[in-house]
Amino acid sequence: MLDPVKLRVLRSVVETGSIRASAEALGYTPSAVSQHLSTLRRETGLELVERTGRGITVTAHARILAEEAGTALDALAVLERTVKDLRSGRTGTLRLGYATSIASTWIPELARDVRRRYPDLGLELALRDCSCEDLAEAGMDIIVGEGTADAVPEEWAVQDILEEGYVALVGTGHPLAGRSSLPMKDLADQSWVTDDPLESFWFDRIGSACRAAGFSPCVDANPNDFPTVLGFVATGDYVSVQPSVIAQYLRPDVLAIPLDPPAPRRRLRVQVRRTVERNPAARYIVQRIHAAAERRAREIPGAVHLGVGPTGAPSQAATEATAPRSADVSQSAGVA
């Protein structure tokens, strides 16, 4: 049987492309990493790395082995967490994946409330800049994010929780800073900054709204995090279009200006694996997510809480906003 420790070392070497970098990441010495690789090469009969000058080149065999080992190592990690839970007396672990736009607002309070109410629960939180579909593949139990597909696998119970619009972010010294609202076309001649990958579903939605207004956005800066976006906007030379939820709490030198219709809108949803949907902690988490969405809907112009009423029936706002999807809401009402 292959040693998981050696497989983890191989994954690190494949990821970094360097024995020294892997040693630093793993807390090993370079010689220990080399020894693990040599042993794994003997056990598998595969050449895993080739020396090139002072460095190495990872072979195709090593990449395939590392990729295939990922599933086994992830499963082993789940087993190790189970053992840890049993040893510590915990009643189990729930894995919650969430989107960037609610990372600093909803999630810290949610984690605090859950840990106070269920102190014996292991709660793992994972920030992922991806869709609900991607998070589902990452082994999450509960997901709060944006679904990009109409069809949801049977193993998930789904509720839409919030529909919101987008806002333009500008610096306080920007010429548009005094406007109470903006049509998309007024952003045509601006330099844009966004943290969305330009080929992503999310930015394509914004780009489609721009193209409908007769222009293509000129993205001059594309950092990978929202605080850096705010730094560019604060200079007064850039604008950004973002969901209204993430724009609630900004730097004092950045303003959020609502976009006039027709402007892009999006929906956030919560997904719960049906294997845990009756778990009291999972039900509580979904309730708290709805409470956060309802609170934000009161604070954000144009946002609608797509919640369910105390009897499990869709609220009036949800009925009006999600009439085509009412079946989805009723099917998953037992989660809330």
Tens of pLDDT, residue by residue over 284-321, are: 999 999 999 998 888 887 888 987 643 344 444 444 44
Sign (positive/negative) of CA torsion 66, 68, 71, 77?
Answer: negative
Residues whose CB falls within 8 Å of the CB of residue 204, separated by 6 or more in sequence, listed in order: none
Kindly give the parts of the chain with pLDDT less than 50.
309-336
**Which residues in the chain are classed under CATH 3.40.190.290?**
92-336
Q: What is the pLDDT of residues 52-70, one digit of tens each?
A: 877 888 899 989 998 888 8
- Per-residue model confidence (pLDDT) at position 228: 94
Asked if 48 and 62 touch (Cβ cutoff 8 Å), the reply is yes
Compute the distance between CA of residue 259 and CA of residue 166 in angstroms, rounded to an integer: 6
**Which residues in the chain are classed under CATH 1.10.10.10?**
4-86
Q: What is the dotted CATH code of the domain comprising 92-336?
A: 3.40.190.290
β-sheet bridge partners, residue 239: 192
The class that CATH gives domain 4-86 is mainly alpha
The pTM (predicted TM-score) of the whole model is 0.62
